[in-house]
Amino acid sequence: MTKNERYQHNKDLLPCLEDYICGQDDPTVAELRYGTANRPVKQVGCAAVAVYNALRLVGKQMNFCEILAQFETLRMPWLFGLFGTKPLSLKRFFRYNKIPFRNYYRLKQFRTAFTDGCVGIVCAWNKSFHGIHFYCIFQKDGKLYSLNQYYSRHALDFSIKELLKPRFIVGTILKESAG
C-alpha cells in the first residue's frame, strides 16, 4: 500500500473525529495504518495519538489522518513504522506546522518546566524496556492528567513522579503557563 493509498484508506475509515483519543486501541482509530510497513495504529500509533490530543488541548485542531500522513511525509516512522515513530522526530512535525514547542532531554528540567496550564508529550521506555511509548499529559487546576498513557475512555490522573530517569527519553511542552 502506498502512502497515498494508506491516507485514503485511513480517511475512509475515519472521515471525522470529534473527541480526544484516550487509547490507541480505541476502535475508532485502532485499524488505521501507519508507515510503509502498514502497521495498525493500535500497535504503533502512540506518537500520532499524543500529538493529536496535545494539539486539541492547545486549541489547534488537526485531522488525525492528516497527522499520520504528515509523519510519513516528514520521514518520522521508525524502521518503516515497524517500531512506531522515531523518539526525537516530533520536532520535525512541530516545526513544519509552525507550532511553538520546547523539548527537554533531562527529566529534572522537564519536571520543573511543566507547570499549571502546560500541555506536553512524554516519550519514555516501557517498563520492560522492550519499546517506547508516547503519551500526552496536561496540568489543569494543579492536577496532572494523561491521555493514552494506558487505555481508558477518559483522561487519567497522573503523577510526574511516575516518570523515572532511566525510562525518560524526551518531554515536549507545547504550551507553557503564563507567568
Distance CA 46, CA 52 (A): 10
Digit-coded pLDDT (tens) for 16-52 = 787 898 888 888 899 998 888 888 999 899 999 999 9
Q: Which helix (H) or strand (E) holds 161?
A: none
At residue 81, the pLDDT reads 66
Q: Which is higher by pLDDT, 118 or 82?
A: 118
Mean pLDDT across 124-144? 85
Distance CA 27, CA 41 (A): 10
Find all residues with CB under 8 Å of 4, minimum gap 6, and list them.
none
Digit-coded pLDDT (tens) for 49-82 = 999 999 999 999 899 999 999 999 998 888 766 6
Asked if residues 136 and 65 have their Cβ atoms less than 8 Å apart, the reply is: no
At residue 80, the pLDDT reads 66
Q: Is the dihedral of CA 17, 149, 60, 12 positive or negative?
A: negative
Q: What is the secondary structure of 30-58 as a DSSP string? A: TT-EETTTTEEHHHH-HHHHHHHHHHHHT
Digit-coded pLDDT (tens) for 139-179 = 888 889 988 877 666 678 887 777 777 788 999 999 654 43
96 has pLDDT over 90: yes
